[in-house]
């Protein structure tokens, strides 16, 4: 159901869509409303009425609500893990990690409600010059399916902590997880009018971005959709966009090859390769390239693919039939472009699940689409480099700039790579995936608008607040 003006309601048109288990397409997860522009308009109208009351709510009360919502999620962890596996296709271990991290995020942002800061400045006279930060108003939060609890918590948490009301549109691939997030916030004591949930396709997200009453839009998803949202929001309203990646791991001659291979396999095939920070390119210097390639292929062959809820499964299905078809199309493209398919590249199983094999290509070059375009699946391509400088150049030869990693014991080269890498995240002897919740998150180039970092830090809260400068004189 949608949640509008304090009520659980269907779409005004009566239209619905069905979400099915990606490991067993005959298993129906649920039927949800397919919202239209009238639903979006009604949700925003209701939020506009409720906004002043929530903005006036003391920050300690806002924080306490987020704390209570975190407790609600923790109490239902087992149920949420099972639902997340069934709806999105994660393995149980991956789902458990996301379900445990989401309450931690909410608690972090509960503290941010009390850390709203202003500044004071020298006054030219006897008065005082200072700034106030206040809620920006109505925030549109449009979130993806690959982390359907974690990413919404990173947007709804700070938006509500800052005193904004929120219209929330989760992905149509994971509508149940979006509903569960709103249920947790309401159970935690969030006033009914402070949030609206609108389910549906991309047209619902487009309607949110187009509505001039929405003061800011925060979006995570594809670069194509992000650019359309940015154009719709325009220059007078705020947008925060985190988009695609084509993330490299550079492996130098002094690296521990076994460790490097384990990091690559984790980044490339964990979460079925469906992470914006997932490893999609390996750039190895000549002296370790072949050894590393063999070890990655060996580890990939040890991964058990199957339903995420089954014991021993290391990689679940792709989330949708469209993702599976896209993945298989890129395998075809890679072979046609002349890359060497070393392992994988085939669908798995005769049933209704969207299973594919972990896939490794070698012989990648910068003109190949499997090297330049985001596949968003368990596919990694190897490239050779003759030197450190060539490896850095290859790593930076991308329209994207989200995450990059280097594996080396040479501290000087690690620091040089961190300085020269054209990405928002740089990892040394770590996977391209994974971040600390108290550190800023965001990309460069086509991976982000680079306006305000997500996740943590003072700039994160600034996105959700307006700032005014006040000049105060002691007398009239």
Give 282's strand partners: 249, 382
The position carrying tokens 């994160």 is 460
Would residue 242 show up in a list of annotated catalytic residues for this protein? yes
Catalytic residue among 98, 112, 242, 454: 242
- Cα-flanking dihedrals φ and ψ of residue 170, to 5°? -75, 165
Among candidate residues 289, 273, 383, the one with its CA nearest the CA of residue 339: 383
Catalytic residue among 67, 94, 276, 374: 276
- Do 240 and 452 meet the contact criterion of CB atoms below 8 Å apart? yes
C-alpha dihedral over 34, 40, 86, 447, to 10 degrees? 120
Distance CA 453, CA 103 (A): 20
Q: Is 435 exposed, middle or buried (0-12, 13-18, 19+ CB in 10 A)?
A: middle
Bin 72: left if φ > 0, else alpha if -120 < ψ < 50, else beta.
alpha
The number of CA neighbours under 13 Å toward the Cβ of 9 is 16
3-state secondary structure 286-350: HHHHHHHHHHHHHHHHCCCECCCCCCCCCECCCCCHHHHHHHHHHHHHHHHHCCEEEECCCEECC
- Do 284 and 385 meet the contact criterion of CB atoms below 8 Å apart? yes
Distance CA 317, CA 267 (A): 16
Distance CA 90, CA 84 (A): 7
Give the active site residues.
Answer: 242, 276
């Amino acid at each position: 159901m949608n949640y509008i003006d304090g009520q659980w309601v269907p779409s005004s048109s009566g239209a619905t869509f069905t979400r099915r288990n990606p490991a067993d397409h005959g298993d129906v997860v649920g039927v949800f409303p397919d919202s239209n522009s009238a639903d979006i308009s009604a949700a925003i109208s209701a939020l506009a009425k409720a906004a002043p009351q929530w903005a006036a709510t003391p920050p300690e009360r806002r924080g306490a609500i987020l704390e209570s919502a975190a407790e609600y999620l923790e109490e239902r962890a087992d149920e949420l893990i099972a639902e997340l596996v069934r709806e999105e296709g994660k393995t149980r271990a991956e789902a458990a990690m996301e379900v445990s991290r989401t309450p931690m995020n909410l608690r972090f942002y509960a503290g941010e409600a009390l850390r709203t800061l202003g500044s004071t400045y020298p006054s030219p006279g006897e008065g005082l010059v200072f700034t106030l930060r206040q809620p920006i108003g109505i925030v549109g939060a449009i979130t993806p399916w690959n982390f359907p609890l974690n990413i919404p918590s990173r947007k709804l948490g700070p938006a509500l902590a800052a005193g904004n009301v929120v219209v929330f549109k989760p992905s149509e691939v994971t509508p149940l997880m979006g509903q569960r997030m709103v249920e947790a916030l309401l159970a935690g004591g969030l006033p009914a009018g402070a949030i609206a949930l609108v389910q549906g396709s991309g047209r619902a997200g487009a309607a949110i971005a187009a509505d001039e009453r929405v003061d800011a839009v925060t979006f995570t998803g594809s670069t194509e959709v992000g650019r359309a949202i940015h154009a719709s929001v325009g220059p007078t309203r705020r947008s925060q966009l985190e988009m695609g990646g084509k993330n490299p791991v550079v492996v130098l001659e002094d690296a521990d090859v076994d460790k490097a291979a384990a990091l690559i396999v984790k980044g490339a095939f964990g979460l079925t390769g469906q992470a914006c920070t997932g490893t999609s390119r390996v750039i190895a210097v000549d002296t370790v390239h072949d050894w590393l390639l063999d070890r990655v292929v060996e580890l990939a062959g040890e991964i058990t693919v199957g339903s995420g809820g089954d014991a021993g499964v290391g990689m679940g299905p792709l989330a949708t039939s469209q993702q599976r078809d896209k993945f298989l199309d890129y395998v075809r493209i890679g072979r046609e472009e002349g890359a060497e398919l070393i392992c994988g590249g085939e669908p798995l199983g005769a049933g209704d699940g969207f299973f594919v094999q972990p896939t490794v290509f070698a012989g990648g070059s910068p003109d190949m689409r499997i090297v330049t375009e985001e596949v968003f699946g368990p596919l990694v391509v190897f490239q050779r480099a003759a030197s450190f400088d060539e490896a850095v150049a290859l790593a930076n030869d991308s329209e994207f700039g989200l995450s990059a990693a280097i594996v080396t014991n040479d501290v000087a080269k690690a620091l040089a790579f961190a300085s020269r890498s054209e990405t928002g995240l740089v990892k040394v002897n770590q996977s391209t995936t994974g971040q600390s919740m108290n550190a800023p998150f965001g990309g460069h180039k086509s991976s982000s608008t680079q306006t305000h970092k997500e996740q943590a830090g003072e700039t994160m809260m600034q996105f959700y607040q307006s700032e005014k400068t006040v000049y105060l004189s002691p007398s009239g």
